[in-house]
Chain A
Amino acid sequence: MEPVTYNLIGAGLIVIGAGVGLGQIGGKAMEGIARQPEAAGKIQTAMIIIAALLEGLAFGALFLGK
């Protein structure tokens, strides 16, 4: 296979990993909000921070492979 294909496979793996991670973050945050709707603001902020960190990691990996 050409190296470009490897890159694409790697990108796919990264996206799968990031997707799973984001799903976990989002799901748990929803759970938390459902349990404690009064803490929704705090949970959202924390969720966005963690999602942003994860996103940074995923983008970093994606662009390292580009």
Chain B
Amino acid sequence: MKIAQHTLKLLCFLLITLSGSISFAANDTTQKDTGEINTSEKVKDYIAHHIKDSHDFHLVSYTNDAGERKHVGFPLPVILWSSNGLATFMSSEFHHTDDGSVIVEKNGSKFVKVHSKIYELEPNASSISFDDEKHPINANRVIDFSITKSVFGMLVAGILMLLLFGGLARQYKKTAIPKGFGRVLEPLVIYVRDEIARPNVGEKHYRKFTGYLLTVFFFIWVLNLMGLTPLGFNVTGQLAVTAALAVFTLIIYTVSGNADYWKHMLWMPGVPVLIRPFLAVIEIAGAFIVKPFSLLVRLFANISAGHIIVMSLIAIMVVMKTELGAFGSTLLSFVLSLFITLIELLVAFLQAYIFTMLSALFIGMAVAEHDHDHKHDDHGKESTDAEDVRSEFI
């Protein structure tokens, strides 16, 4: 499944790259900029913009009869910690600009928004200027606690989860068997508990971590699914979000690691003493860098890639209009994006599953009680090594 999906992703990437270059060549003539997304360059920018977080909730844009570009959506609150203290305002004050042309003054600080990021202008600067690599030279990043689209998405997901599972929990008070949507949710909870938490953490300790694993699983899954809706959330495709999730797992397995875990990490038994310090370095790097890094990058990359692919396939409709005609390009785009969206539905679940399962596995490694040298089976009998078994055949 995984492999097929990767092949598909690669194929689609190729297709998009090819189609992009062709249509780019075709649309070389300069047009009057109406703000419509109609060239491959603009599509690229649009996708890059979508992948990032944004400060307002933008649903749809259209050009009205007067040739004006209208945006439909609603603003979200911006909360900034600047050099002059806390500043709060609504994102509508930026007037949908993303190039730093509108300056908002609050608490004696001047803020501009460039590529979905808010900068604070230096006190003597009147407008933002960039260097060659498009980095602002007279403005500094501020710590941005805004209710951005991602934060809004997280809140929605959290409230959704609380309503759904809180409702399920309430149902249990009245009856032993849930009704309605609870019947869908209950097997999912049992699945996470019995297929992810119990086998990977271990029978003895899994109860303590089931709450975390369940929360993370449904949080990621709901957000992944929200990303597939036309609302355009890309929460689990934000590095900060996946990093926070990975850090949670890191903290949990570091805190709950038993003496055995630390011993195996810092002073590996059963290997020559001279190798032990090197192994300790590798193990520490593995536990504190590789494990969380792989967790955060996998989720982020999969979801981002999924969004890029779906949006690129939808963009076929626009960029291949000249080659295939309106009907042909729409049909091609529809068929491909429908197919990929179905696969993304699977990926949404799979990534939530993998994140939760790997978290459970890492926690399980930290809390496992090793019995040294030999493994024992259920009856307390020493299980034979592969070597022992093989020698019987020779």
A residues engaging B (CB < 8 A)? 15, 18-19, 22-23, 26, 45, 48-49, 51-53, 55-57, 59-60, 62-63
Contacts and interface: CB of A to CB of B under 8 A. Distances in A.
- Looking at B7, B199, B297, B357, which has the most chain A CB atoms within 10 Å of its CB? B297
B301 interface: yes
Contact of B2 (A15, A26, A60): A26
Contact of A19 (B6, B353, B361): B6
Interface in B287-309: 293-295, 297-298, 301-302
Contacts of B293: 56, 60
B294 A56 contact: yes
15 contacts: A15-B10, A19-B6, A19-B10, A22-B3, A26-B2, A48-B350, A48-B357, A52-B354, A52-B357, A55-B298, A55-B302, A56-B298, A59-B297, A60-B294, A63-B297
Contacts of A45: 199, 357
Interface in B258-298: 293-295, 297-298
Nearest to A56: B294
A54 to B, nearest CB: 10
Q: Which 4 pairs show the lowest CB-CB distances between chains A and B?
A: A56-B294, A59-B301, A56-B298, A26-B3
Contacts, number: 48
Contact of B354 (A48, A59, A60, A62): A48
Contacts of A55: 2, 298, 302
A48 B6 contact: no
Contacts of A63: 297, 301
B299 to A, nearest CB: 9
B332 interface: no
A35 B297 CA distance: 34
A59 B295 CA distance: 11
Contacts of B302: 55, 59
A18 B354 CA distance: 18
B142 interface: no
A56 B6 contact: no
Contacts of A62: 301
A60 B246 CA distance: 14
A56 B171 CA distance: 40
Nearest to A11: B13
- Looking at B199, B301, B357, B361, which has the most chain A CB atoms within 10 Å of its CB? B301
Contacts of B295: 56
A22 B2 contact: yes
Contacts of B7: 19
